[in-house]
Amino acid sequence: MRKDFSAYLLTIVFFFVFIISNENICAQDTGTLRGLVVDSTTSEALAFSNAYIKELQIGANTDIRGYFLIPSVPANKNFTLVVSYIGYNTKTITIRVSKGKMSHYNIKLSSADIQMKTIESIGTRITGTSDSKISVDRISAKQLETAPKGVESDIFRTIKYLPGVQSTGDVSARYYVRGGASNQNLVLIDGITVYSPFHALGLFSVIDPDMINNIEFYKGGFGAQFGGRLSSIMQVTTKDGNKNIFSGKGSASFLTGKLLLEGPLPSGSFILTGRKSYSNKILNKFLNNGNIPADFYDFSFKANYSNPEFVPGGKFTFNGFFSGDNINNKDPRIEDYKWSNKILGFKWFQVGDSPLFFELGVSASSFDGSVIPKLSDTPATTNKVDDIGVQMDFTYMFDNKDEIGVGFHIKHIRTTLFIENSSGISVDLGSQAANIVLYTKYKFLQWNILSLDAGLRMNLTTLSQNKKVSLIEPRLSFTLRILPQILFKGAIGIFRQELITVSDENEVINIFEPWIISPSYLTPSHATHYILGVDLEPSSNVTFSVEGYYKSVLDLPLLNENKILPSDNDFLSGKGESYGIELSTKISPDPFYFTASYTYAHAYKEVDGLRYYPRYDIRHTVNLSLDLNIGKGWSASTVWSYNSGLPFTQLQGYYDKYYFNNIFSQWDRFDPRNPYSILLIQNLGRLPDYHRLDFTISKKFKIEPFSFHMDISVINVYNRHNIFYFKRDTGERVDMLPFLPTATISVEL
């Protein structure tokens, strides 16, 4: 029955593709306008810019590739198209579409001589657009430039200022979205999974901001095209490289040195980026001047080719990403760590004379990590993930503005995890399997007042061998605009995750989290998201947003802390629950840009009937930021952050515990007793509140033929002593970052 159902669905898909690929679509008195919006200097795509037909009062936003589509435009008439993007000069052109055909325009915007502060759309409100507003934040490379820096720009530290995103402190860049664990977040580089996206004990992201064109960050309720995680999706689209001239850029901070090269190729372009740490002295500030012997690098490349004489409307890209980390402690009694990522991908993106987008991608992603115990008691651990994938995605827009999307994704994943047991024998907990997914989604957009996005993700095969795995993941979201200034929105969906990490959430710093496929004795976890909100837009410079959410997680894998025998399972099946409300406002009267957000949230976990707070359960979070364009290349920004205290497990006392590690030792010389902590209920206590003020001032200037960009930042301006934790063995208090000035400078040719 299951095979027949799958075959039936595939038949429908191929029939659908055959029909919509046929160019003999019935002629009407309208045509379709398609445009590609790029930077006039570099030809980089300008994602999420505005395209607006003045006379018809309709428009669209560009997608992550810079394309927009406006269907049902009256044919053989001249209209005025207005294209805008903050930081660029608005462009007005005359357009004309042909009856029953696709009319394409390439549009180049020139950069304005102002400091770009945001990517939010401005100007006339667009109606009839397919742009999603459900729990998604869009971030450009320019936003990363202006954000206050923790030593240097970092995408993970930037998103911590968004409502609904929690952090457990300054030390780690790990983030937690709406009550979900860190391993429930999926990070994609050009659609390819990065399994270990952190450098240096999790202090920074492995993704160099210089390689980024734009970011889409989904905090929940994401569409059927995404899967594999329960909480969030971060989709990073990288730059193509300058198609007009060769250029280079070098920069340095107290931590790393970076280099970027880009330029044109025949019918295309390329970009190369590289980053290497050269000093870890600044990192020592993150742990009370303790030593962090971190050494890391990352390297990326991308080349693209687009020749109408070869494949009209086709674009081919080949990209790679590599990163590596080594933590080598000089003390032989402390273990060492090392891990690396390797990514390769190829994509064929195709547009034609019909409103159809097609993309074929082939990718390979691998992760290698290991723990070298040396003379410590830490068991030797080796973890490897190999991920080979193929995906096909089709999107078609009808003349009534509705859209339909179909995709077919195949992933083969092999995990190996060798952990040394108490007898010194390595045990392999790894496995391998293939996940074949078929998804379809339909966007109902023909009414300006109401839009619906209904999707269904079907798992034809699964990674897990458990028979109780859910095969279907339905998704639904909507927007309702009852007035031009008021937009209601909501989403509901089911999400499943079969890859998990072996990690102890009680650890203050998670250095190494091995990945495995969910064991057969566990039912893979699945979450249900419920989201409801409203956006208020009283003017083009002022917006307010409120979103409430509820998330329920079943079959949540939790580490079995009471494991005694080798035959005991490593994981237990638990539950999770989180809910909250997020408020945000943006006010942007030139030359100021002010944002404020507040999050009230609850998060719980439950195992064996016991309910407790996870470490990232934070009740109140406030973020205030102000950007100021001073002029003449000067800009300044400041951020104040506050959150209520983190949960922690209180210490009740100690007792002397005998450890008989060596029964032949001479007890008269070596006392086998060591203090053993007696703890109260898990995470029942609360640390003091946290707050911090950061400030950055930037200057751009030229000394021909070079362009310079200098940032001077101060972290924790008023030197707040925010507690991180107490060491249980010594009672020493460890604080988070103190008052810390940093600087970066970049030179571009």
In this structure, the answer to whether residues 10 and 94 fall within a common structural domain is: yes
For residue 123, the model assigns a pLDDT of 36
In this structure, the answer to whether residues 89 and 152 fall within a common structural domain is: no
Decide if 69 is inside a domain: yes
For residue 424, the model assigns a pLDDT of 60
Say how many domains are in the chain. 2
Residue 7 has pLDDT above 60, yes or no: no
Residue 19 has pLDDT above 50, yes or no: no
In this structure, the answer to whether residues 72 and 152 fall within a common structural domain is: no
Decide if 278 is inside a domain: no
Percent of the chain with pLDDT over 70: 85
By C-alpha distance, which of 585, 620, 616 is closest to 600? 620
In this structure, the answer to whether residues 147 and 228 fall within a common structural domain is: yes
688/420 Cα distance (integer angstroms): 39
In this structure, the answer to whether residues 152 and 63 fall within a common structural domain is: no
Q: What is the mean pLDDT of residues 389-411?
A: 93
Decide if 40 is inside a domain: yes
Work out the pLDDT band at 3, boundaries 50, 70, 90: very low
Residue 747 has pLDDT above 80, yes or no: yes
Q: What is the mean pLDDT of residues 6-16?
A: 48
Q: Would you say 169 and 645 are in contact if contact means Cβ atoms under 8 Å apart?
A: no
655 token code pair: 């007792």
3-state secondary structure 483-535: ECCEEEEEEEEEEEECEEECCCCCCCCCCCCCEEECCCCCCCEEEEEEEEEEE
Decide if 744 is inside a domain: no
Question: Look-up: residue for tokens 């025998």?
Answer: 565
7 token code pair: 């075959």
In this structure, the answer to whether residues 152 and 229 fall within a common structural domain is: yes
In this structure, the answer to whether residues 63 and 10 fall within a common structural domain is: yes
Q: How many CA atoms lie within 13 A of 155 on its CB side?
A: 29
Decide if 267 is inside a domain: no
Letter for the amino acid at 315?
Answer: K
pTM above 0.85, yes or no: yes
In this structure, the answer to whether residues 222 and 173 fall within a common structural domain is: yes
Q: Would you say 294 and 282 are in contact if contact means Cβ atoms under 8 Å apart?
A: no
Q: Would you say 473 and 496 are in contact if contact means Cβ atoms under 8 Å apart?
A: yes
Longest CA–CA separation in the chain, Å = 100
In this structure, the answer to whether residues 172 and 214 fall within a common structural domain is: yes
68/129 Cα distance (integer angstroms): 10
Work out the pLDDT band at 664, boundaries 50, 70, 90: very low
Residue 254 has pLDDT above 50, yes or no: yes
For residue 242, the model assigns a pLDDT of 94
Domain boundary among 193, 213, 234: 234
Q: What are phi and psi of 2, to 5 degrees?
A: -65, -40
For residue 416, the model assigns a pLDDT of 93
Q: Would you say 493 and 470 are in contact if contact means Cβ atoms under 8 Å apart?
A: no
Decide if 378 is inside a domain: no
**Triad 479, 483, 489: Cα angle to 5°:** 20
Q: What is the mean pLDDT of residues 725-746?
A: 80
71 token code pair: 């269907």
For residue 217, the model assigns a pLDDT of 94
Question: Rounded to 5, what percent of the chain is helix, strand, coil?
Answer: 5, 55, 40
Question: Look-up: residue for tokens 């030139």?
Answer: 590
Provide the residue range defining the domain that includes 179.
136-234
Q: What are phi and psi of 55, to 5 degrees?
A: -70, -30
By C-alpha distance, which of 244, 181, 219 is closest to 491? 219
In this structure, the answer to whether residues 47 and 144 fall within a common structural domain is: no
Work out the pLDDT band at 511, boundaries 50, 70, 90: confident
In this structure, the answer to whether residues 29 and 88 fall within a common structural domain is: yes
Give the pLDDT confidence of 66-115 residue by residue, as tens digits. Answer: 999 998 899 999 999 999 887 788 999 999 998 888 899 999 998 875 44
DSSP for 60-119, written as a single string: EE--TTSEEEEEEEETT--EEEEEE-TTB--EEEEE---TTSEEEEEEEEPBPSS-----
CATH number of the domain within which 146 lies: 2.170.130.10
Decide if 154 is inside a domain: yes
Letter for the amino acid at 414?
Answer: R
97 token code pair: 């579409």
Give the pLDDT confidence of 548-596 residue by residue, as tens digits. Answer: 999 999 999 887 777 777 777 878 889 999 999 999 999 988 788 899 9
Q: Would you say 45 and 62 are in contact if contact means Cβ atoms under 8 Å apart?
A: yes
In this structure, the answer to whether residues 168 and 229 fall within a common structural domain is: yes
Q: What's the alpha-carbon Rg for the chain, to the nearest Å? A: 27
How many other C-beta atoms can be found within 10 angstroms of the C-beta atom of residue 431? Answer: 18
CATH number of the domain within which 9 lies: 2.60.40.1120
Percent of the chain with pLDDT over 90: 47
Domain boundary among 74, 109, 144: 109
Q: Would you say 449 and 422 are in contact if contact means Cβ atoms under 8 Å apart?
A: no
By C-alpha distance, which of 156, 162, 158 is closest to 175? 156
For residue 151, the model assigns a pLDDT of 72
DSSP for 549-581, written as a single string: EEEEEEEEEEE-TT--STTS-SEEEEEEEEEEE
- Output the average pLDDT for the chain: 85
Work out the pLDDT band at 262, boundaries 50, 70, 90: very high
Domain boundary among 234, 264, 288: 234
Decide if 600 is inside a domain: no
Residue 225 has pLDDT above 80, yes or no: yes
Residue 400 has pLDDT above 70, yes or no: yes
